[in-house]
Amino acid sequence: MSKSNEHRERISQHPPRRHQGIGTKPPKVENLWSTLARVWTYIRTEKKRFMFVLFIVVISSLLSLLGPYLLGVAVDRIIADPVTETLLQMVILLLVVYILHSVTSWLQNYWMISISQNTVYSMRNHLFSHIQRLPLLFFHKRQHGELMSRLTNDMDNVSRTLNSAVIQFTTSVLTITGTIAMMIWLSPFLTLLTLTIVPVMYFGMKWITKRTGRYFKKQQKHLGDMNGYVEEIFTGHQIVKMYSQENRVIKEFSEKNESLREASYWAQTYSGFIPKLMNMLNNASFAIIVGAGGILALNGFISIGVIVTFTTYSRQFTRPLNDLANQYNMILSAVAGAERVFQIIDEAEEKENDKDASDIQRIQGEIDFDSVYFSYEEDQPILQDINFHAAKGQTIALVGPTGAGKTTIISLLSRFYENDEGHILVDGKDIKSITRESLRSQMGVVLQDSILFHTTVRENIRYGRLDATDDEVEKVAKAAHVHEFIKRMPEGYDTILDSDGKGISHGQKQLLSIARAMLADPALLILDEATSSIDTVTEMKITDALRTLMEGRTSFVIAHRLNTIRNADQILVLHEGRIVEKGNHHELIRKNGIYAALVHTQVSEQMC
């Protein structure tokens, strides 16, 4: 999957945030209650604090209801007895209530943040640990960008919701319920008038969100297209300049930018109606309460204090009513994210070692494939009847077109996959009787595309054996002909490398990978065209380093450039999952079969 496609996928999975409210279509959730129950298993370690937070939320909500009521009582008392002492008492009481409300609000948020972070910490650790134990086939079927999204964005979605939405949702439910109960107790008639704005709010929000949804989708699509295009152009800027395509890419960017501007304009315009609608309805509710309440007060049905209380309650009622829909959508969005996380956690881990499997202390290097069959999917064979013997210290080259099964043979030997039929023997023992950890710990690999980590040069080499001393690291660096290059770097062995190896050449990355493999001191060595795409001088250094590395070790070489395997002890030519030719270079040339044809083709291409 290209970087640009991964970027588009990240954009598509995480659209720009927008206002959600009544009428907004909630995210799709397949198993709401079972997912919430699984999330609860992670919160359970914080159960006592979580229940205490909910208790504080109830207290805070009651205080928010008590404040407006006391304000109305204060107005009535002052009207009935306008003395300074009465006023002072009510002010002090209101001050205490609102201070307590502020304190409880702060405490519930403070503790909930701690609970949510501990919960997400546990979930993220569980997910990452589980991913490390998944079989290699899982990663071949998944896009890396999509997996990254689940580990980062989906987990962040759960974190944000636990931080705020859970408390806000509970507070909104309690506030709405308590406010309606208090309003009915004070004046059922005024309550009925206040509730008349709810249908208007619902249909108004539905009308707005129906239109904003369409434009936000367009905005999301155009934003993904533009960001993907920018990444492609920045990655290929050298080609753009080489072919003088600057004006064309500027024009194409302007077109994409214009599409994004138009979609964003209408999306933001329609969504801007939401606060205006809410403000208008709040004012309308205020006018209804004051007008109708004034008439009721003049006729002795209610007091002035009740009108004051109702005006506060009306604003306290409409705001959480809309927030409730938004918070509900946030919770459903977090549940959808949690479902995606649990989908990965529910994937079957790599098959455990057999009960009678044991560690192997030191592999001698004798390998046998005895009538091995393998398929990823049933009725779709990948390898069929693979038979060969590799003696200790021999070099075995695997040759054939893409998809012939070369890498699959290596993966079976490494026990990334399990063969369907036949036996794979290491030193006469079936590899299924050997633990994967002890087998893989004695295998070294140098890939065509070297993998470096974002750490120092020293630690990148030491990755082959973590307990190696600095002297041992430098020793293998010298043997791999990379020591002088490292010493010329700004901080020498302590120079920090980027994960993609920026600032060093492909050949230098290969030499670092060879040094890493040397330090691991493997009994079995796997080379995947380690000398491709490099200059002649560097190739000579790599070839010499590989010769040192391969000495005394059984080596498997996946070869694309046939001139690099002339000295292999045995060459296996694969075609459609079968070994069609076997022998050394000279034997296969004399056979004048597929291998000879491949050699002649490559020689002809080099001469052209």
Query: pLDDT (tens digit, 9 = 90+) per residue, 219-272?
Result: 767 877 787 788 778 777 777 877 777 888 888 888 888 888 888 888 777 777
Strands (E) located in 393-537: 395-399, 421-426, 429-430, 443-446, 524-528
Q: With a cut of 70, say whether residue 145 has pLDDT above it.
A: no
d(CA 108, CA 87): 32
Which has the higher per-residue pLDDT, 237 or 462? Answer: 462
d(CA 357, CA 224): 50
d(CA 240, CA 309): 68
What does pLDDT average to over the chain? 80
Position 181 scores a pLDDT of 86
Tally DSSP H helices, then E strands, for the chain. Answer: 23, 10
Across-strand partners of 26?
none
Q: What is residue 426's three-state secondary structure?
A: strand
Please report the DSSP string for 73-111 in residue order: HHHHHHHHS--HHHHHHHHHHHHHHHHHHHHHHHHHHHH
Which has the higher per-residue pLDDT, 388 or 148? Answer: 388
Which has the higher per-residue pLDDT, 274 or 312? Answer: 312
Across-strand partners of 399?
573
Do the bridges between strand 421-426 and strand 429-430 make them parallel or antiparallel, or are there none, so unpaired? antiparallel
27 pLDDT tier (thresholds 50, 70, 90) = low
Position 531 scores a pLDDT of 60
pLDDT digit string (tens) for 93-132?
889 988 998 999 898 888 888 888 888 888 888 888 888 8
Residue range 380-405: mean pLDDT, rounded? 89
**Exposure pattern of 425-441 as b/e (b: 16+ CB <10 Å)?**
ebbebebbebbbebbbb
Position 322 scores a pLDDT of 66
- Taking the whole predicted model, whether its pTM rises above 0.75 is answered as no
Position 390 scores a pLDDT of 92
Q: With a cut of 80, say whether residue 140 has pLDDT above it.
A: no
Position 14 scores a pLDDT of 39
Are 530 and 514 a contacting pair, CB within 8 Å? yes
d(CA 465, CA 440): 13
Are 46 and 83 a contacting pair, CB within 8 Å? no
Q: With a cut of 90, say whether residue 163 has pLDDT above it.
A: no
d(CA 606, CA 211): 62
Position 9 scores a pLDDT of 39
Position 82 scores a pLDDT of 67
Position 103 scores a pLDDT of 92
Closest CA to 595 of 607, 583, 606: 583
Position 4 scores a pLDDT of 39
Residue where the block lists tokens 């043997």? 479
164-168, 452-456, 569-573: least confident range? 164-168
Q: With a cut of 80, say whether residue 412 has pLDDT above it.
A: yes
Residue range 416-440: mean pLDDT, rounded? 88
Position 570 scores a pLDDT of 92
Q: With a cut of 50, say whether residue 465 has pLDDT above it.
A: yes
**What's the residue count for the chain?**
608
Neighbours of 30 (CB within 10 A): 10
Q: With a cut of 50, say whether residue 151 has pLDDT above it.
A: yes
Q: What is residue 498's three-state secondary structure?
A: coil
Are 101 and 175 a contacting pair, CB within 8 Å? no
Non-local CB neighbours of 155 within 8 Å, separated by 6+ positions: 120, 123, 124, 127, 337, 341
Percent of the chain with pLDDT over 70: 87
Q: What is residue 297's three-state secondary structure?
A: helix
Residue range 327-349: mean pLDDT, rounded? 80
Do the bridges between strand 554-558 and strand 443-446 make them parallel or antiparallel, or are there none, so unpaired? unpaired
Position 425 scores a pLDDT of 92
Residue where the block lists tokens 């206040």? 194
For 428, left (φ over 0), alpha (ψ -120 to 50), or beta? left
Strands (E) located in 411-500: 421-426, 429-430, 443-446
Are 111 and 52 a contacting pair, CB within 8 Å? yes
Closest CA to 196 of 273, 289, 294: 289
CA-CA-CA-CA torsion sign (591, 597, 600, 602): negative
Position 608 scores a pLDDT of 53
77-91, 236-250, 491-505: least confident range? 77-91
For 175, left (φ over 0), alpha (ψ -120 to 50), or beta? alpha
Strongest mean pLDDT among 29-33, 286-290, 465-469 = 465-469
Residue range 305-332: mean pLDDT, rounded? 74
Position 604 scores a pLDDT of 66
329 pLDDT tier (thresholds 50, 70, 90) = low
Q: Where are the alpha helices (DSSP H) in 187-272?
A: 188-195, 197-235, 237-242, 246-271
Closest CA to 432 of 442, 422, 418: 418
Please give the biggest Cα pair distance in the chain. Answer: 118
How far, in whole angstroms, is CA 205 from its chain's centroid?
Answer: 33
